[in-house]
Structure 1
């Protein structure tokens, strides 16, 4: 009986013992870089690869951009210094092989360790592989999609334009409902 009494008292005492507070983190990792261009799936037929994006104030000292092939070969790299949260860089390359997927990596390095900040992928192809003429493809919306509201977002690809703009026409039942002329300001051969 005494043993049970002491066991109950011990259990009550241990339940009343305060739990030490959790240790609060001393710092927070607030660094970010976003690669906005080239968009995923872009086919680049140019001798330079235009890369652009945004970052926060913690990146004002700069970071590295590398372009890496599917064989893990670094074919272009450069340092980037953001200005007011925006950055861009033209990376010349001498790639002449078959069309290949490329990974564009934004990273930080202190010489011993590195951290990837963002990744983007595209396809790199020598200009000799570029189809002749002008072509385009609307990827969204697709046939049969329904939509409404004041705006209908349109996403697609276009290649071979010489004017730097495209005209999008919305029709319904054969009648033109809306016409918009859009500027294209993408230097990777508009692909």
Structure 2
């Protein structure tokens, strides 16, 4: 009698085990479907993240570009640098040669952007005194001053440029030239 009970108990356990395995396998299939859907959703989200990241990067670049353009458009404060030219020979350098030498030096030191942003221009030059005034913006004043110190030739003759004073007006720059002589 105990044998039949044992067999019945084993049969019941195997039935329950098969039912349990069926339920577990079905739940596993459902979980696999959920995992597959979740993977699809995550790939869509990662694609969107990449698109959002690209858009954010482009927006930041455009903001930087806008800031750069705003700086270009903004009215810049002008500075005038009074200087003397010490040259070798009897003829003083021409105004065109002086301006070319200064522009080349600024371009070598700060690049074409410094020349463009700086608005570097020779506004006054007296060949008799070998003195002149260069206009630039307040942003590039130090670049222009450093570049003027790099000039060693003007045209075909050896020469150096000696900055005397930096001012905010041409009138004061001319006054600084007159005081230095």
TM-score range, shorter chain: under 0.3
User: 1 or 2 for the larger relative contact order (CA 8 Å, sep ≥6)?
Assistant: 2
Larger radius of gyration: 2
Between Structure 1 and Structure 2, the one with more strand by share is 1
Between Structure 1 and Structure 2, the one with more helix by share is 2
The two structures have a TM-score, normalised by structure 1, of 0.26
The two structures have a TM-score, normalised by structure 2, of 0.27
